[in-house]
Amino acid sequence: MAECFNTRLQRFAIMRRLFIPMILAFCVMYVITTVVYIGTEVNETVPGASSEVVLRPKWPDDSASEKDLANIDTDPMEERMMLRRSRIPPMCGGKFTSTKNASREPIWNLNILYTSSSIYVDDKYKFLYCFVPKTATTTWRKMFMAMHYNISYNDADENFDKLTKDIGLKHLNLYSEQKILQIMQGYLKFMVVRNPFERLLSAWQNKFNKYKSGQFWYCNTYGKSIIEKYRKNFTVGDGSGCDVTFDEFTDYLLERDFKNGWIDEHWKPYYDLCMPCHVPYDTIIHYETLVEDSNYVLDKLGEKRRFPNGSSGVKGKVLEAYSNLNNSFHKREQIYKIYQMDFDMFGYGPIPLA
């Protein structure tokens, strides 16, 4: 009897020595699995950066190629936007996650988003819009005013202060982290782009060539110093600051520090203004199809108003303007390099000038 009892005690002791480590191992594995899951699905620190929060909104699945889309019965406008969106993820490199479906999930560095002064949110109509100067922003401002005051487009005011003070258009950087996530998931997000060469020519023409009354700030702030530095045989008092040539303007641009320096919003790249690697835009309007694309957005917002027809002040003048630059090919090549991300990301391809 005693021998049998001792045998049972020995077996119990062996089982206890095996069972307790097994329980401990199970607990450790459970904790590790839970931490990894939470870290992967909710918060993740981007290597080499601090205080970066990864938010995971639903990014449109635009993985279909042009060949695939040809065999899909989709709305032509939806197809157009799908193709435009699909160009963005491959250009963002490390700014997209390395997890499954990585090409559709942008990593948002909230510290970067909070530096943006061009992205606005309308909570009434639930949209996010990136203001890019020289891409029909004046027309869109009037449209927003018409929508909010329920008046015709022609009766609307383009005053920007009224947009931000009266109807409550707000900077994205005024919202909390959680609200930004809600905006990215539930609001319509759109921006407007045009050929970067054309945009630069339009900016020069507007600020230094066919400037309007009240725009002397650009003449005084930029124009005079540009003329002084880049005009050959310059003498004190030469030029008003409003007669900067396109050659002088491009000389000025090519010496700017686009990576670390302050760049005026009228010639700042779309990539930096609108942060498409951090904001999953639903709709990318091209200036070349402005009215059609804009009406598509208005339909999405439930608006019956139609976007007005307009004309570009530099249409048909781009090739001539760039061809007449001193050392033309070299300058165009250097400008292309500065804005290459914009050219490639938004489908404008290589240098389109002969």
Which range (77-81, 236-240, 286-290, 297-301) has the least confidence?
Answer: 236-240
Count CB neighbours of 171 within 10 A.
14
Cβ neighbors of 300 (< 8 A, separation 6 or more) are 188, 282, 283
Per-residue model confidence (pLDDT) at position 157: 83
Mean pLDDT (the chain, rounded): 79
* Most trustworthy range by pLDDT among 99-103, 120-124, 308-312: 120-124
Q: What is the pLDDT of residues 311-334, one digit of tens each?
A: 777 878 898 999 999 988 999 999
State mean pLDDT over 96-125: 69
Look up the pTM and report it. Answer: 0.76
Phi-psi region of 7 (alpha: psi -120 to 50; beta: other; left: phi over 0): alpha
State mean pLDDT over 271-286: 94
Residue 240 pLDDT greater than 90, yes or no: no
State mean pLDDT over 68-92: 82
Pick 43 or 276 by higher pLDDT: 276
Is the CA virtual torsion 289, 293, 295, 298 positive or negative?
A: negative
- C-alpha to C-alpha distances, 54 to 20, 49, 162, nearest whole angstrom: 38, 12, 34
Residue 101 pLDDT greater than 50, yes or no: no
Which range (202-216, 279-293, 295-309) has the least confidence?
Answer: 202-216
Per-residue model confidence (pLDDT) at position 103: 43
Per-residue model confidence (pLDDT) at position 213: 56
Contact at 8 Å (CB) between 317 and 117?
Answer: no
Residue 132 pLDDT greater than 60, yes or no: yes
Residue 192 pLDDT greater than 70, yes or no: yes
Residue 47 pLDDT greater than 90, yes or no: no
Per-residue model confidence (pLDDT) at position 46: 31
Lookup: tokens for 332: 């165009």
Pick 188 or 101 by higher pLDDT: 188
Confidence of residue 5 (pLDDT cuts 50, 70, 90): very low
Pick 163 or 122 by higher pLDDT: 122
